[in-house]
């Protein structure tokens, strides 16, 4: 009998579900034994030899005695699975359903590792919120005013349900705003940083990749070298976070396992920097596997690098 942890992915048909299956398929310490998809039920899972997609009820999934379950579902539909699964099963919810729930660990490892380790209910952060928080967090004590994050992501971030925001024809030669006030990632980042931020998200014509330009009003003027040192001290030991001197571009985040922060510039007491990631990887699937590893006691980057 295998001594690997048994893992399931619910919502395995989606973009994030596919990325999860690819990572988990090469993970040395877990075995994917369930991939849930109503649309693909009965078809083989391309990332996992010998596994087929299944469509099972929450109670049927609970009966599989899985050690960890990823919920790669649309917002608002995770509840029945959470209720059915054992309290001993580690759940990583990739939707926004539990990001505002104090009973769930907020799964941004670089900022919240201690609370994630050993947890059994973990809320995976949103893609924009991940980069924005990583950029802002090292400067929290110096803020004087509300940071603003202008973000652009690939249309895979709009999911698989057809809409103008994931229609390549509508997006061609175009830049399309999301909700400009009160985006859910804005509230999420504000809550977890403990300070208000403003987020202005957009979608661009490429399939994946994400860039956020963050403006930070500071209480005092910093030298650029001091700001770079603060950022380096915060993340120099983090293998998935790279601090750059130059300005990262959106294409630098595409297919990137982690995130890049760089291009720091300062005008008076105003600091600007740029962060990039892949919205499906560090913005979703990679971070989810980091969280599972911390929950189950595996090396944090097992299966990832």
Which CATH number is 189's domain given?
Answer: 3.30.360.10
Q: Does 121 share its domain with 153?
A: no
The tens digit of pLDDT for each residue in 18-44 reads: 999 999 999 999 999 999 999 999 999
Q: Judge whether 302 lies within some domain.
A: no
Look at residue 39 in the predicted model and tell me its pLDDT: 93
* 161 lies in the same domain as 274: yes
**Model confidence over 280-301: pLDDT tens digits?**
999 999 999 999 999 999 999 9
> For residue 294, which of 68, 88, 48, 97 has the smallest C-alpha distance?
68
In a shared domain, residues 134 and 261: yes
Residue 149 and residue 100 share a domain: no
User: Alpha-carbon distance 82 to 172, whole Å?
Assistant: 39
| CA atoms within 13 A of residue 297's CA, in its CB half-sphere | 3
In a domain, 55, yes or no: yes
- In total, how many domains does the chain have? 2
pLDDT tens per residue across span 136-194: 999 999 999 999 999 999 999 888 888 999 999 999 999 999 888 889 999 999 999 99
Provide the CATH number for the domain around residue 32: 3.40.50.720
Nearest residue to 287 via CA among 14, 32, 18, 19:
19
Q: Is residue 132 part of a domain?
A: yes
**Residues 153 and 240 placed together within one structural domain of the fold:** yes
Same domain, 268 and 290: no
Say whether both 135 and 243 belong to one domain. Answer: yes
What percent of the chain shows pLDDT beyond 70?
99
Position 2 scores a pLDDT of 65
Q: Does 233 fall in a domain?
A: yes
Judge whether 138 lies within some domain: yes
For residue 211, is it within any domain? yes
132 with 222, same domain? yes
224 inside domain: yes
Across residues 190-217, what is the average pLDDT?
Answer: 97
Looking at residue 181, its pLDDT comes to 87
Regarding whether 218 and 248 lie in a shared domain, the answer is yes
Does the residue 217 lie in any domain? yes
Strands 270-277 and 148-153: unpaired
- Whole domain around residue 167: which residue ranges? 127-279
Active-site residue set: 127
What is the 3-state secondary structure of the chain? CCCCEEEEEECCCCHHHHHHHHHHHCCCCEEEEEEECCCCCCCECCCCCCCECECCCHHHHHCCCCCEEEECCCCCCCHHHHHHCCCCCEEEECCCCCCCCCCCEECCHHHHHHHHCCCCEEECCCHHHHHHHHHHHHHHHHECCCCEEEEEECHHHHCCCCCHHHCHHHHCCCCEECCCCCCHHHHHHHHHHCCCCEEEEEECCCCCCEEEEEEEEECCCCCHHHHHHHHHHHHCCCCCEEECCCCCCHHHHCCCCCEEEEEEEEECCEEEEEEEECCCHHHHHHHHHHHHHHHHCCCCCCCCC
**pLDDT beyond 60 at 1:** no
- Over the stretch 232-249, which tens digit does the pLDDT of each residue have? 999 999 999 999 999 999
| pLDDT tops 60 at residue 90 | yes
**Could you tell me if 121 and 199 lie in one domain?**
no
Longest alpha-carbon distance in the chain: 63
Same domain membership, residue 155 and residue 45:
no
Same domain, 33 and 72: yes
């Amino acid at each position: 009998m295998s001594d690997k942890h048994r893992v399931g992915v619910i919502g395995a048909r989606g973009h994030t579900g596919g990325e999860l299956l690819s990572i988990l398929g090469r993970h040395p310490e877990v075995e994917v034994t369930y991939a849930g998809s109503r649309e693909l039920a009965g078809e083989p899972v391309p990332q996992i030899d010998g596994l087929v997609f299944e469509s099972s009820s929450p109670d049927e999934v609970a009966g599989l005695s899985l050690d960890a379950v990823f919920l790669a579902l649309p917002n608002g539909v995770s509840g029945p699975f959470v209720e059915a699964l054992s309290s001993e099963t580690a759940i990583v919810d990739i939707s926004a359903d539990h990001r505002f729930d104090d009973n769930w660990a907020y799964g941004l490892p670089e900022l919240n590792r201690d609370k994630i380790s050993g947890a059994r209910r973990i809320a995976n952060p949103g893609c924009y919120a991940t980069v924005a928080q990583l950029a802002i967090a090292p400067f929290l004590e110096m803020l004087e005013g509300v940071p603003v994050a202008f973000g652009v992501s690939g249309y895979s971030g709009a999911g698989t349900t057809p809409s103008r925001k994931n229609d390549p024809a509508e997006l061609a030669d175009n830049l399309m705003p999301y909700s400009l006030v009160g985006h859910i990632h804005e509230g999420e980042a504000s809550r977890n940083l403990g300070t208000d931020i403003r987020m202005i998200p957009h979608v661009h014509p490429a399939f994946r990749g994400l860039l956020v330009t963050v403006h930070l009003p500071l209480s005092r003027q910093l030298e650029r070298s001091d700001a770079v040192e603060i950022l380096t001290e915060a993340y120099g030991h983090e293998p998935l976070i790279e601090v750059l001197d130059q300005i990262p571009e959106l294409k630098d985040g595409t297919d990137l396992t982690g995130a890049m922060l760089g291009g720091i510039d300062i005008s008076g007491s105003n600091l600007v920097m740029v962060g990039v990631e892949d919205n499906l990887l560090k913005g979703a699937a990679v971070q989810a596997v980091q969280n599972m590893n911390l929950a189950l006691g595996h090396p944090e980057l097992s299966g990832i690098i």
